[in-house]
Amino acid sequence: MQLVRDFGTRANDVTALSASEQARLIRNGELSSLEVVNAHIERIEAVNPELNAVVVKRYAAARAEASEADRDRAKGTPMGALHGVPITIKECLDLAGTPSTFGLPSRANVMLERDDAYVARMRAAGAIVVGKTNVAQLLMFLESDNPVYGRTCNPWDLSRTCGGSSGGEAAIIAAGGSPLGLGTDIGGSVRTPAAFCGIASIKPTAGRLPDAGRYSSPIGQRAIVSQVGVLAREVADVRLGLEIANGGANPAVEPPMPLRDAGEVAISRLRVAVYIDDGIFPVAPAVRRAVHEAAAMLSGAGASVCAWKPPSLSDAYQLSMGILSADRGAGMRRFLGRGTRDPRIAALMMIAARSRRMIGALGGLLRMLGQQGLADGIKPFGHGDTWHYWQLVEAQLEYQQRFKAALDEAEGGPFDLILCPASSLPAWKHGAARELNLGGAYTILYNLLGYPAGVVPVTRVRADEESVRETSRDLIQRAARGVESGSAGLPVGVQVVARPWREHVALAAMQEIENAARKRGDFPFSPQGLRL
């Protein structure tokens, strides 16, 4: 079942506009902030009963802030870049007067006293938070489902997930209930939902917008640090949101992390490395086509585009999972206490708590049963001591050096950008996260490296390209084939990766791809509005 957009009313026309356009119309007095906020509340109320994306509603406060924004405009008070514009934020980000549960029942009644720093920056720019959006429990898997708020559905197909852990955010933006939002990303949590829901997003360079995430991966784990990211229907809004969350292009905040102008990037001077297969999880046919088409779009704009093979992505995946599970699930057990556990979290904790000897024995048994995918998936687990954690971090540093050398020294390089899949598959069916886990190293690689990475939609799955995957005893491959079956019409995005601190280069390429895809006609979103 799909949610179909109706553009017969003024309210629906307003919610089809970008955040930048809404801000312009409010600033010029062509729309009031209250009118825009009410239109989005109306849209949320229309779609949320089926989506369950907005789980903390802030309607009365949002209306009051909108009225105040209108009074300020009338008085000539200086206005921020998002003056009077409604937004949503991921539930785990602190907003005064609301809970940040991370899907933990024990935190459902804990009301926060102050805003997260990045939320405060958005509000200082005039944005009005109308609600908070659903997450995966502990932000630890690629579906948005937890014992506090339940499951969020994908607006393109309610039988499928919107992704996680920022899935509620992606779902409500795709459905027109919000033009712009904030999420967090430690392994793909803003990029995978964007890919599944057909919108754009960016995870910045590690260290630009660090997110403590106190009830997810323990904050003492500093090798792979969650970053706050931005999601929107249009790349221009992602760019605007990133600048605001950054504290401005040349922020006066500490530490000051300048953000350069994507408009100054000449696409024709870029060198782009392209790969499609991570060697772990083969992609669906539509994903392969989307990467080829995006590469052609950049090449058509004058960029030099070359096929490229990165250093072993299997090594990167093993390092990532080893680092994130180095405490053998102790942090998760402490956060959960005796509270209700999502089945996917329970399964992850069961594996994480096993010893190396047990992991080895279990892996051998799985291979004997023809479950190579599951056996490979549990290999990084089981150490749980400081010495092995230090070894993993040293190996991470060495891998980062290898990766940079490959970008610098490969034929056709040195490369400015990497173009690759955003996800191996289109939106998963509900519950598939138990078998698929991350579905390869396509996103978590760039958390391990700390590189900025964005997602931009390109196309939709065609009826004749749902799957070429052979039938298999392997549960992971069977789950992947099940996801591909019936996927026609779902959106497909690509991932655009830049060197550290060069988000502007990724955003410029994303804008070029978005422009070219819109002109072609099968882009998930048209200027006339969303078709869901």
| CA separation for the pair 528, 532 (Å, rounded) | 13
Contacts with 133 (C-beta within 8 Å, 6 or more apart), sequence order = 53, 54, 55, 88, 89, 90, 91, 152, 166, 167, 168, 169, 171, 172, 181
Is there a catalytic annotation at residue 299?
A: no
Q: Which of 430, 496, 423, 432 is nearest to 461 (CA)?
A: 423
Question: DSSP character for 251?
Answer: T
End-to-end distance of the chain based on CA atoms, in angstroms? Answer: 10
Is there a catalytic annotation at residue 189?
A: yes
The two structure tokens encoding residue 155:
């607006």
| Residue corresponding to tokens 């852990």 | 165
Q: Which of 403, 89, 107, 333 is nearest to 231 (CA)?
A: 89
Catalytic residue among 90, 132, 203, 429: 90
User: What b/e readout covers 481-490, taking b as 16+ CB neighbours within 10 angstroms?
Assistant: bbbbeebeeb
| CA separation for the pair 92, 109 (Å, rounded) | 14
Catalytic residue among 100, 165, 216, 226: 165
| Residue corresponding to tokens 């024709």 | 268
H-type helices in 147-234, by residue range? 167-174, 191-197
Strands 200-203 and 453-460: antiparallel
143, 229, 489, 511 from 514: Cα distances, Å: 26, 19, 18, 5
Is there a catalytic annotation at residue 90?
A: yes
Catalytic residue among 33, 189, 423, 424: 189
Residues assigned a catalytic role: 90, 165, 189
